[in-house]
Amino acid sequence: MITVEFVIYGGVHQDTQINAAREFVNAHMATEVTSTVTYLGETPALTDYGTCSFLRPENLPESDIALLNPRLPCAYIFMWQTPGVDVCWGGGNYGLAINGRPFDSIPYNVWWWNTASEWGHKLTSAAAIIIHELHHTFESILHDILGYPLAMSRSEHIYGTTVPHMDHLSDFDFTDHYEWSAWAYHEISPEMCTAIESFCGAIPPHH
């Protein structure tokens, strides 16, 4: 079992989106992903890129980090809102940035958040981006920490040996995002899932 902690700034509940994403992942991955949710206050000041802004690990105040569970989760997924600010991306992964765990950043006050996803299959765009970023989290653990090579195309990929990179749909000969994402999670083998679980269980608690 792998537990992730969703950290939500702004107080807007995202249970429907989180549950839909988790159900998708659990239907296609060889382990169970569970989640907890922590609500914090207002979104902190973002990193300014000139024409857009985004929440990065260095934007988090120490007082907020102190409120996070330092033991349980395998990763933190931060969801945030800043009305009136153009965001740079739909999501971002920043490696092992908080408490020795992966840090994902997802803005939720974007126009497409509650629209029907281009994936179809009754998923919203919000659930789709959570699914996408969570796979990047597992890629980060498997590649950066556990040494599994990333595969950027079907010709590079060997089941159980390499990890498909979530941004390379067409290089794996897929056109449908739903089918691609289901396949990409399936390609995280049972042995890889066990390795992720072992890594997460071995992370020393931070205080």
- Does residue 133 lie within any of the structural domains? yes
| Residue 90 CB-density burial (10 A; 0-12 exposed, 13-18 middle, 19+ buried) | middle
Question: For the chain, what is the mean pLDDT?
Answer: 92
- Does residue 43 lie within any of the structural domains? yes
- Does residue 191 lie within any of the structural domains? yes
Q: What is the pTM of this model?
A: 0.92
- Distance, C-alpha 142 to centroid of its chain: 14
Q: Which residue has the higher pLDDT, 70 or 77?
A: 77
The stretch 41-54 carries a mean pLDDT of: 95
3-7, 41-45, 110-114, 143-147: least confident range: 110-114
pLDDT at 203: 57
- Give 205's contacts (C-beta < 8 A, 6+ positions apart): 70, 71, 99
Q: Can you read off the two tokens belonging to residue 11?
A: 């107080």
Whether the per-residue pLDDT at 152 is higher than 70: the answer is yes
Q: Tell me which residue range forms the domain holding 32.
A: 2-202
Structural domains of the chain, count: 1
pLDDT at 53: 96
pLDDT at 96: 83
- Does residue 140 lie within any of the structural domains? yes
- Does residue 8 lie within any of the structural domains? yes
- Does residue 121 lie within any of the structural domains? yes
Q: Can you read off the two tokens belonging to residue 106?
A: 């997802």
- Does residue 207 lie within any of the structural domains? no
Q: Can you read off the two tokens belonging to residue 166?
A: 């979530």
Residue 186: band (very low, low, confident or very high) from pLDDT cuts 50, 70, 90: very high
Element (H, E) at 24: helix 15-28
What is the domain-level CATH number for residue 192? 3.40.390
The stretch 166-183 carries a mean pLDDT of: 97
As a whole number of angstroms, the distance between CA 114 and CA 156 comes to 35
3-13 pLDDT, tens digit per residue, is 999 999 998 99
85-119 pLDDT, tens digit per residue, is 899 999 999 988 888 889 999 999 888 898 988 88
Percent over 70 (pLDDT), the chain: 97
